[in-house]
Amino acid sequence: MAEVTNICGVAVYLAPDAGSDLTDRILAMPGVELGAASGEHRLALTVIDTPASLAIDQIAAMHRLPGVVAASLIFHAFDALDDEDVVECDAAECCGGPCQNSGAHARPSVD
């Protein structure tokens, strides 16, 4: 089965008196990328699973760092395969009955 990427968008708020190296420490975590920054105290990050760590573990770790006021999950998705690798299916086939998924009905192609 092909792999999917777990993608998390995270808003991080830093304390006004947080050390100047805190942002660098956060960005040094595996799977963490800076999307945007607003001043010195607000960060918009993308966090993905890596072979060494899960995104949720990185989010929890940054939340525990001294100087981090909050690290909140604001977006979550699994980035599936390229369009050519995806086969569309109907809701019954996807969910096996009444649909439990309000998103798109797609599954990896089986070769």
Please say if the pLDDT value at position 107 is more than 60.
no
Please say if the pLDDT value at position 103 is more than 50.
no
Q: Convert the pLDDT of each residue in 39-85 to its tens digit.
A: 889 999 999 999 989 999 999 999 999 999 999 999 999 987 555 55
**Predicted local confidence at residue 74, as pLDDT:** 95
**Predicted local confidence at residue 111, as pLDDT:** 45
Q: Convert the pLDDT of each residue in 15-45 to its tens digit.
A: 999 877 999 999 999 999 999 998 889 999 9
Confidence (pTM): 0.68
CA 21 to chain centroid: 23
User: What is the DSSP-derived secondary structure letter of residue 81?
Assistant: -
Residues 6+ apart with CB under 8 A from 36: 43, 44
Please say if the pLDDT value at position 90 is more than 90.
no
Distance CA 12, CA 59 (A): 9
Residue 109: pLDDT band with limits 50, 70, 90? very low
**Predicted local confidence at residue 97, as pLDDT:** 53
